[in-house]
Structure 1
Amino acid sequence: MCSTLHFVPRRSEERGHADHGWLKTYHTFSFAMYQDPKHQQYGPLRVMNEDRVSPLTGFGTHPHREFEIFSYIVSGELEHKDSMSNVEILTRGDIQLTSAGTGISHSEKNSNKHGVPVHFLQIWSIPSESRLKPAYYTRHFTDEMKKDKWARVVASVDDEGVNREREGEGTPAPVHSGLTMYATILSSGKTLEKELNRRKAYVHVIQTSSDENAQGAKVKLSDGAGGELVLGEGDGAYVAVNSSSAKLLVENISGSEGPTAEILLFDMDA
């Protein structure tokens, strides 16, 4: 039986990394001072930074244009302010998406006064059309909505079930890119299946362990036809989809009573 999916690992320790004291960050793709021609983008996915920001610090006001920018909050509080008069404090389970279009400026800070860092992923995708009108969206997904199931947290703006309301719970944020982003919190011993409808996919296992150097959860990817790959926390995988009927199997293999695994899956155009 021929493999319907081809996996290429993107190991956590091979990502770009910077420790600025107030910011500890890992870059899946080339970003800032980290540049690697082998990891520039994948499909429309251009940036995926896993950031930890110390209390009362953050990113000052800076401009963006022509990117779809979304933040996935893992823990802590992220204060967002922008030139569209949006001011919001985002917490665990929140997804915030800014369609930068013709241009916006924003700041992102950890305003927590009790010594709690914020851990979030900032993700950029390339829009399918240029010079869009800037827009701002937030969505919230409880842990229960993601427990041992796929939650569709971001989806192409014209996909079924996607609306352009500014806020919402349990419905995907609209993105002007050919991608769908799913999230799950997968219990040890559990397996999820996902049919992949586009040419490429990317999987990221979030580093949720309290100790950044801890081994944490282990996840096995497979296609049911011989293709397999094991990932740890902070690891990712490029996935080439070789069949129109390809299905991805994701299993938490952390062992009896092992930790849950928080996983992001991107189903994308080539």
Structure 2
Amino acid sequence: MFSLTPIVRNLLILNIVFFIVDAYIVNLTPGFALYSLKSPAFLPFQFVTYMFLHGNIGHIFSNMFGLIIFGPMLERIWGARRFLIFYFVTGIGAGLLFSAIDYFETSQLQDAVNVYLQYPTPEGLVDFMSQHAKGLYQANLDFLNNFEESPKDPRYIQDSVNFVQGFYQQQVNVPMVGASGAIFGILMAFGLLFPNTELFLLFFPFPIKAKYFVAFYGLYELYAGIQNAQSDNVAHFAHLGGMLFAFILLRLWGSDRNKFY
């Protein structure tokens, strides 16, 4: 059904093998997922290894589907070596941008935690939650009410301190996995090199040119990343990182669009 090129085939096999090992044999996430720069679990090689781990079947299916649809055409144009370089540069670049944004956000969170630890009050806890943990406000409403009624009670103060510290530790130790950054890099390259190629997508009732699809997708990822909803566990800035590094690589390589369709 799909005419796979050598690098695309090998990447597909590696991702599937790692997924099976991680899901059914040995949990690879603690050592090889990409952790926050502020996490004690972070190691530099995770910028590479995180790309070969996936959270579930749907996650790996969507990424590998993108790889086998758009990857072979790029590999045929560039050759195996350049395509492999592109894949890893965009994947690592995605991890770098994600880590930079995450470092900024977790630094702000750490500052907020330190401020609260100095002044652990009901008002301070409400302010902390409204700024950093809106999704947990309703679940802790009874505790907040009790704390407001007894703001000097050492039990409530300690519980609030434990909550704030625990929330920080939870946020800083959430790992990122997936080849999405590299796949979005491939998608970006396809849109730049084949801008007028019409794509037929399941969720679009009509064909859409690759350049418009990539532009819309990129804008959505930027919007979703800025929104930063707590219920959203998608690494949108990693996707944008893959697209950004793909754009930079294509500029450096000086690809001539007139050679494509």
TM > 0.5 between the two?
no
TM-score by length of 1: 0.22
Give the greater-gyration-radius structure (CA): 2
- Report the TM-score when normalising by structure 2: 0.23
More strand by share: 1
The structure that is helix-richer by fraction is 2
If asked which structure has higher relative contact order (CA below 8 Å, sep 6+), I would say 2
